Structures are given as structure tokens and as C-alpha cells.
Amino acid sequence: MSRPTLLVPVVFPDPDVYSLDHENIVGLSGFDVVLFGYWEVPEGADRETVRASRAPEAQSVLYELAAAFSRGGASTSVRLFFGQSGAAEAKLQDRIADESDADAVLMGGNITKWANVLVPLRDDRRRSDLLAFLGGLNRHSVFTLELYHVAPDQAAVAAGEAMLESVRADLVEAGFAEDVVDATVDVRGDAGVAVAERAQRHNLVVMGETGEHPSESAFLGSVYRRLADRVDVPVVVLRD
């Protein structure tokens, strides 16, 4: 991917309106952003009636966000839909992600300057996708990019360190400064808890999609869901 596409869901009627200024949009200049607006229609309400009365309000929010992303150098487009929450919403999000050829989805948390990034890695199967996405970040604004692996026991530490060092070498070759990219291996019994604790030290998490959906009403996999329940840091999920 020469310029990664980032899908940003914005759920109405109470959207997370990202506060974007000249500092925190600098890290977005390397991405094409698709703002996916979805107005959750209350059960029993008529969708077209809600659309007619609420569309101008939703579009105003979306285009204000689009303007902010565009000022940061991101190519931005807007999609707006009305419907029920749950399975239909998740299915539509999947379809929009496919149609827009989204490489990743941004979920949760306020967008701040993407200067301190955590990359949890179980293995390096998504190496090429990860390198391509991280390449969209403004290298000059990143002061820490931490590769993080949780080993189940001490015997697995060496393999984890070798894997992270290999990815680290690729990132340095791609243009990240050597003193910016860190590699950390922890021995912990619960990888999810360990990642959540580590994420609190950063202002962005970039992780791979597991493909595991706990129910048909879930958009992203269970690993993301568990992380999102524990942290308020924005999470970018690389799509399979």
C-alpha cells in the first residue's frame, strides 16, 4: 500500500468528536481517511424519518471532522448511514471497509499527536502490512515506537526477542531512527492485561486483526474488544 487507507467510524447520536489541532493532525498526513458515519436509529423509530430530521446535523459533524483531517494533509471522504445497532451495523461496517479498501480501522480514544506508538506483536505474520501502515506515520513526529511481545514463560523470551529485533531492523531500514524504535519482551501470564497496561504509556496502539468475532454484532475481533474495555488510548486495527 503506497498510501494506507484508514477507516474512522463515527457513531451517532452521541459521536466521539475528535479534537484535532495543528499538532495532532501532523501524524495523519500519510493516510487516506474514510469517515464512516452511522446514526443508530432507536428501536421502533422510522429510519427515513430519523434520516430526514438528523442528516444535516450528522453531515455537519462529519464534514467538520473531514476538514480537520484534510488540513493535516490526509485525503478524506465521508459516508453516512442510518440503521439499527448490532449485527446490521457491524455487517455494514465490514462492507464499507471492504468497499473503501481500508487497510486499517481507527477505534476509540481521543486522537492526540501520534508520537508515542505501541505495536503489540504475537508473531511477525503481518510484518509487510505493519511496515506499510507505519510508513504512513510522520517519522519526524514519532519519538517512540515500541514493539512489544508477551512471552508465556522464560523459555520463549529468546524467540520473542529475535522476532522483534528482525521487525525493528526492517523499520530502521524503512527510515525510522534507530533510537526511536524500541523492542520489549515481557513474561506475563495474561497477554491481554499486559498489553493494556503497556498501552497506557502510549498515545496510539497499532495491532493486527485476529479475525475472531465474539458475535455477529461485533465489528472487530475479541482481542481488540478486550483491549478497548481496558484502555482509553486510540487503537488502529490492521485488517486481514
Residues 211-239 have pLDDT tens digits of 544 444 444 445 555 666 677 788 888 88
Residue 109, domain member (yes or no): no
- Pair 189, 227 in one domain: yes
Residue 96 C-alpha from the chain's centroid:
16
Query: 53: Cβ–Cβ under 8 A, 6 or more apart, which residues?
Result: none
Residue 110, domain member (yes or no): no
- By CB atoms closer than 10 A (0-12, 13-18, 19+), residue 186 is middle
Name the grid cell of 145.
Answer: 515506537
- Mean pLDDT calculated for residue range 82-106: 82
CB atoms near residue 116 (< 10 Å) = 16
- Pair 166, 206 in one domain: yes
Residues 167-215 have pLDDT tens digits of 999 999 988 999 999 999 999 988 888 988 999 899 889 988 655 444 4
Residue 136, domain member (yes or no): yes
Residue 30, domain member (yes or no): yes
- Pair 122, 231 in one domain: yes
Residue 43, domain member (yes or no): yes
Residues 27-68 have pLDDT tens digits of 677 788 899 899 989 888 999 999 999 999 999 999 988 888
CB atoms near residue 94 (< 10 Å) = 15
Number of compact structural domains in the chain: 2
Give the residue carrying C-alpha cell 496510539.
204
Q: Dump strand ranges (E) for the chain.
A: 5-12, 32-40, 75-83, 104-107, 116-120, 144-151, 181-187, 204-208, 235-238
Pick the last residue of a domain from 69, 102, 135.
102
Give the model's pLDDT for residue 59.
95
Residue 45, domain member (yes or no): yes
Give the model's pLDDT for residue 121.
92
- In whole angstroms, what is the distance from residue 28 CA to residue 161 CA? 30
- Pair 87, 161 in one domain: no
Q: Which domain holds residue 130?
A: 116-238
Residues 226 and 107: beta-carbon distance below 8 Å: no
Predicted structure pTM score: 0.84
Residue 107, domain member (yes or no): no
Pick the last residue of a domain from 70, 102, 134.
102
- In whole angstroms, what is the distance from residue 186 CA to residue 156 CA? 10
- Pair 142, 92 in one domain: no
- Pair 146, 213 in one domain: yes
- Pair 42, 152 in one domain: no
- Pair 159, 80 in one domain: no
CB atoms near residue 28 (< 10 Å) = 26
- Pair 89, 124 in one domain: no
CATH code where residue 63 lies: 3.40.50.620
Pick the last residue of a domain from 74, 102, 130.
102
Residue 122, domain member (yes or no): yes
- Pair 135, 34 in one domain: no
